[in-house]
Amino acid sequence: MSSTTSTRATAPTDHTVATGVPAHAPRRDDRGRSGGRRIGSHVFLIILAIYFITPLWWLIVAATKSNSGLFTGTGGPLWFDDQFAFFDNIAGLFTHQGGVYWRWFANSFLYAFAGGAGATILAILAGYGFAKYRFRGRGPFFTIVLASVMVPLTALVIPTFMLLSQMGLINTPWAVILPSLLNPFGVYLMRVYAQDAVPDELLEAARIDGAGELRTFAQVALPLLKPAIVTVLLLSVVGTWNNFFLPLAVLTDPELLPVTLGLNRWTALSNAGAGGEQVWNLITTGSFISIIPLILSFLFLQRYWQGGLAIGSVK
């Protein structure tokens, strides 16, 4: 009982500290603001939230319907059917085309995490190097990295495809993972963050204590970079998970597709019309399952990225 009370008492403080957003408590009580406007603001927000969440609601509902229920359901497109087919649909995902859906799902994980984690590690190292060492050529190279943020990555897909095909990497996981390691914006974020978050005095003290450069980095700097690391990791994972153009160009083997491409392929086949290929219920259920991991990561890592996304834009 007492522990519950104390948790509740400290919770708001934790939240404020964790988001990294300063608490403006006095301003938040809306003094001098009329009740009508407060209600107006809330109504506005709720309408916006409904707009943004409706497609997701539709997907949740659709994932519980059978193939025919999607067209002729009793509840309409935005409400559940009498028949609850969610588990049948999941079973369908295991049997349709030999359960290739789960293969796609695993591929997505592999590409997103190998590519995302790799890009993040490179960004941490480079960002720290740029922020804390004054090596020769630092200024010009960083300027080039910054400029490259404005190079549209899709313009690189066709030449990357040609290079990878010369290396014999087309239709291998490497064709997606290796190009995903490139994240200049992550380097920029990490540098801006490391500049302030890791005080030079602290590094100096570690060196005086006899720590080498690598140890200073791993034990002193790395823990201080945590919010930026989570943010860059999320951004890179989302970037790789989202990438459509690159895998579309470099993968043709159905076994290697990420889940997004696989579902798009099923949709194209279903639209093309052949009766046996119409698997709308599997597409909706498959889409629903495929978005769960990222939504959950964002929910659980909220306190890191909400502050982190502002890095580099706040002066």
Judged by CB under 8 A, the chain residues 189 through 218 that form the site for other proteins are 195, 200, 213, 217
Dist CA 139 CA 133 (whole Å): 11
Task: CB nearer to other proteins: give 91 or 151.
Answer: 151
14 near other proteins, rule: CB under 8 A:
no
Question: For residues 31-90, which are near other proteins according to CB under 8 A?
Answer: 32-33, 37-38, 41-42, 44-46, 48-49, 51-53, 55-56, 58-59, 62, 70-71, 76-78
9 near other proteins, rule: CB under 8 A:
no
Task: CB nearer to other proteins: give 1 or 220.
Answer: 220
Dist CA 244 CA 307 (whole Å): 28
Phi, psi of 173 (to 5 degrees): -55, -30
Dist CA 311 CA 192 (whole Å): 7
Which of 85, 284, 285, 303: binder of other proteins (CB under 8 A)?
284
Cβ atoms 258, 104 nearer than 8 A: yes
Per CB under 8 A, which region of 3-11, 80-88, 99-107, 292-300 contacts other proteins?
Answer: 292-300
Which of 84, 87, 94, 298: binder of other proteins (CB under 8 A)?
298
Which of 171, 172, 278, 306: binder of other proteins (CB under 8 A)?
306
Which has the closest alpha carbon to 265: 255, 275, 117?
A: 255
Cβ atoms 184, 150 nearer than 8 A: no
Phi, psi of 80 (to 5 degrees): -65, 155
Task: CB nearer to other proteins: give 87 or 244.
Answer: 244
Question: For residues 83-112, which are near other proteins according to CB under 8 A?
Answer: none
30 near other proteins, rule: CB under 8 A:
yes
Least distance from C-beta 135 to other proteins, angstroms?
Answer: 3
279 near other proteins, rule: CB under 8 A:
no
Task: CB nearer to other proteins: give 107 or 260.
Answer: 260
Cβ atoms 263, 290 nearer than 8 A: yes
176 near other proteins, rule: CB under 8 A:
no
Per CB under 8 A, which region of 86-94, 95-103, 169-177, 301-309 contacts other proteins?
Answer: 301-309
Task: CB nearer to other proteins: give 3 or 55.
Answer: 55
Cβ atoms 229, 124 nearer than 8 A: yes
Dist CA 284 CA 300 (whole Å): 25
- For 101, the 3-state DSSP assignment is helix
How many CB atoms are located within 10 Å of the residue 174 CB?
15
Per CB under 8 A, which region of 81-89, 92-100, 168-176, 234-242 contacts other proteins?
Answer: 234-242
Dist CA 190 CA 179 (whole Å): 20
Task: CB nearer to other proteins: give 1 or 200.
Answer: 200
Dist CA 235 CA 229 (whole Å): 10
